[in-house]
Amino acid sequence: MSESRKPKKAAPEDWHRADIVAALRKAGWSLRQLALHHGYSSPTTLTAALDRRWPKGQALIADAIGIEPAKIWPSRYAKNASRTASKNNTNSGVQAATNCKAQRAAA
């Protein structure tokens, strides 16, 4: 009667927002500074990426930390990887994040 059940794989967990903010601070940024650096009129704009899916904001935050967005928010990228790639052919968020890293290094 007893069935041998394999334990389910743990779902990849997103980083806690405090861990993201701490990683930004360690890299010399704050969400406020990053938003203003990229020309957003509201310094709290990038906090939206902490709570909901926003690929451009996620790319800016991840680039400032120095890792891929999928490592910070695996639940947002695991299921929709093919849909996201075909939908966002321009990669403008990634290009902007790359420019940010280059500008920060030059400063």
Q: Tell me the CA distances in angstroms from 88 to 24, 84, 85, 94, 105, one per residue in order.
A: 25, 6, 6, 10, 27
Alpha helices, DSSP H only, in 1-107?
Answer: 17-26, 31-37, 48-51, 55-65, 69-72, 74-77, 81-87, 92-106
Q: What is the pLDDT of residues 22-63, one digit of tens each?
A: 999 999 999 999 999 999 999 999 999 999 999 999 999 999
Residue ranges per structural domain of the chain:
13-79
pLDDT tens for 85-97 read: 445 444 555 555 5
Question: What mean pLDDT comes out for the span 59-87?
Answer: 81
Residues 6+ apart with CB under 8 A from 64: 24, 27, 29, 34, 97, 100, 101, 104
d(CA 107, CA 104): 5
| Superfamily per CATH, domain 13-79 | lambda repressor-like DNA-binding domains (1.10.260.40)
Global pTM reads 0.67
Residue 5 pLDDT: 73
